Structure 1
Amino acid sequence: MSQTPEERLAALDITLPQAAAPVANYVTTVRTGNQLIVSGQLPLVDGKLLIVGKLGAEVSNHAGVACARACLINVISQAKSALDGDLTRIKRVVRLGGFIACVPEFTEHAVVMNGASDLAVDVFGDAGRHARSTIGVPSLPMNAPVEVEAIFEVE
């Protein structure tokens, strides 16, 4: 029998944080039909950014990968909250969008975003394989190096 997302999270020693409230004029999730869209999440851990700065400058690729992973943990937390605590209602990770704050010469966006993509597969198995866009941007809120958004197929 296949493991549930919650069991996989436990095996990865990941405890989901409380879903953060929006910090501006938006909602954290929108459900339309069988899709759940999760607004961009920053790499917040215990209410603080894991690291600040830009990739290709003061933030290493390794730290960027950790930030992308932290962002996806927060995305999953938002999804769980929107689905009344039941991650088994997620049938597929449809798409992840990654924003990487970086210097203009930086070209390793995909490497950094793999921190989120790899975790999606680790948590949701084959249903975690997704389409993806990853783009470099000049800045993100709070000087975060990474932001990740998601679209899930849900029941």
Structure 2
Amino acid sequence: MTVLDRLIELGITLPQPMPPVATYVPVTVVGNLVTVSGQLPAIDGKVAVTGKLGQGITLEEGQHAARLCLINVLAQLETTLPGGLASITKVVRLGGFIAATPEFSQHAVVMNGASDLTVAVFGEIGRHARSTIGVASLPLDAAVEVEGTFWLG
């Protein structure tokens, strides 16, 4: 089963990628290594989950936001790479940034929204290294931001 087949099975349609909100490119390829800049939990080009975990945003909403971010990472890959998602042979690393209050401590659980979807979409090659960091704020008041590093085969 291909990655695109798995997306269909999961009921996911990849959106048009959101353009950068500052001076950077969304995807960089160096040799076989692909890096996707941080993606926000956007739907139709608008941030769908704003605010902070621990202050109005529930754990479940945070996980949903992380999942949306990962969908936007996938959209960047599909539209940028000549072979699209089919050219990915390994998910190397995900990085997650969680806007949260100082008391919030379940950043890793929030990021599971992205990690679990990665494994569901890519299977065994989707198992990855990961960092998850709590931050005071994110661009456009997003609750979560996710970046990724991938290997081309």
TM-score, normalised on structure 2?
0.98
Output the amino acid matched with 1:52: T
**Distance (whole Å) between structure 2 residues aligned to residue 28 and residue 45 of structure 1:** 17
**Distance (whole Å) between structure 1 residues aligned to residue 96 and residue 116 of structure 2:** 13
8 Å CA contact 2:96–2:133 kept in 1: the answer is yes
**What is the aligned-residue identity percentage?**
58
8 Å CA contact 2:16–2:44 kept in 1: the answer is no
Match of 2:82 among 71, 81, 84: 84
Q: Between 74-83 and 97-106, report the one with greater CA deviation.
A: 74-83
Output the amino acid matched with 1:125: G
**Distance (whole Å) between structure 1 residues aligned to residue 57 and residue 117 of structure 2:** 20
Alpha-carbon offset, residue 86 of structure 1: 2.4
Alpha-carbon offset, residue 22 of structure 1: 1.3
In the other structure, the counterpart of 1:26 is 24
Structure 2: gaps of 5 or more residues? none
**Distance (whole Å) between structure 2 residues aligned to residue 81 and residue 47 of structure 1:** 15
Output the amino acid matched with 1:33: G
Alpha-carbon offset, residue 85 of structure 1: 5.3
**Distance (whole Å) between structure 1 residues aligned to residue 148 and residue 62 of structure 2:** 18
In the other structure, the counterpart of 2:58 is 60
Mapping of residues 34-53 of structure 1, within 5 Å: 34-53=32-51
Match of 1:17 among 15, 18, 21: 15
Structure 2 counterpart SS, 1:51: coil
In the other structure, the counterpart of 1:5 is 3
8 Å CA contact 2:18–2:42 kept in 1: the answer is no
**Distance (whole Å) between structure 1 residues aligned to residue 10 and residue 133 of structure 2:** 28
Output the amino acid matched with 2:116: D
Output the amino acid matched with 1:122: A
Output the amino acid matched with 2:33: Q
In the other structure, the counterpart of 1:101 is 99
Structure 1: gaps of 5 or more residues? none
> What is the aligned residue count?
153
The two structures, once aligned, show a CA RMSD in angstroms of 0.8
